[in-house]
Chain A
Amino acid sequence: ACRKKAKDEL
């Protein structure tokens, strides 16, 4: 879940 938030990491 919540996978999309990782896209804000580098």
Chain B
Amino acid sequence: MNVFRLTGDIAHLLAIILLLMKIWKTRSCAGVSGKSQMMFALVFTTRYLDLITNFISLYNTTMKMIFIASSYGTLYLMFLKFRATYDSNHDTFRMEFLVVPVAGLSFLVNHDFSPLEILWTFSIYLESVAILPQLFMISKTGEAETITSHYLFALGSYRALYILNWVYRFYFEGFFDLIAVVAGCVQTVLYCDFFYLYITKVWKGKKLTLPA
């Protein structure tokens, strides 16, 4: 564990808490993409199947359980409890355009052709693009609530911090995982446009709106 990974994990946890808080406090999931959230639940489910097969640390197990539980908690709030507030008209990104190619790629490019490993690879690839329906939704409506933009910033920062973690691990532990690194870079790049808007607008106290 290094400082980059720890802050990355904390940013990830913070993002999830921010999203749950936004939905709970405003009693609304307006502006949140249910499709991105469904894919995140799928990401955690397929990646953390190793909870059953091997134990790493109490920290690892606890965080994994929190991530899985919170992703399904978010789905529960969005699709059951506050279903009426779900903005499905603006959540029109086609999930199959991401899930199908990602599934295909995880069969073709992986570290080991075994079920758990393919599912892990699938989750890594899917995570890298799972935010697209959310970003697409913001581009359709042209704006995002400030709390939603904080959520996205924390969520995007997490993988950027993981890149620093991988650089650190490469130099100090001789560890390198090409699949995770490439997917992590793709994931971070997808947020760049959002990061720019967030820093130039939200940090100056304005609402996140897209240029017309």
Could you tell me which A residues sit within 8 Å of B by CB distance? 1-3, 5-10
Contacts and interface: CB of A to CB of B under 8 A. Distances in A.
B162 interface: yes
Given A10-B63, A10-B64, A10-B67, A5 B175 contact: yes
B96 interface: no
Contacts, number: 30
Tell me the dominant secondary structure on chain B's binding face: helix
* Nearest 6 interchain pairs by C-beta: A3-B111, A6-B177, A8-B56, A2-B175, A5-B175, A10-B63
Interface of B: 5, 9, 12, 50, 54, 56-57, 60, 63-64, 67, 111-112, 162, 165, 173-177, 180
Nearest to B111: A3
A5 B9 CA distance: 17
A9 to B, nearest CB: 7
20 contacts: A1-B176, A2-B174, A2-B176, A3-B111, A3-B177, A5-B175, A6-B175, A6-B180, A7-B50, A7-B54, A8-B56, A8-B57, A8-B60, A9-B5, A9-B162, A9-B180, A10-B12, A10-B60, A10-B63, A10-B67
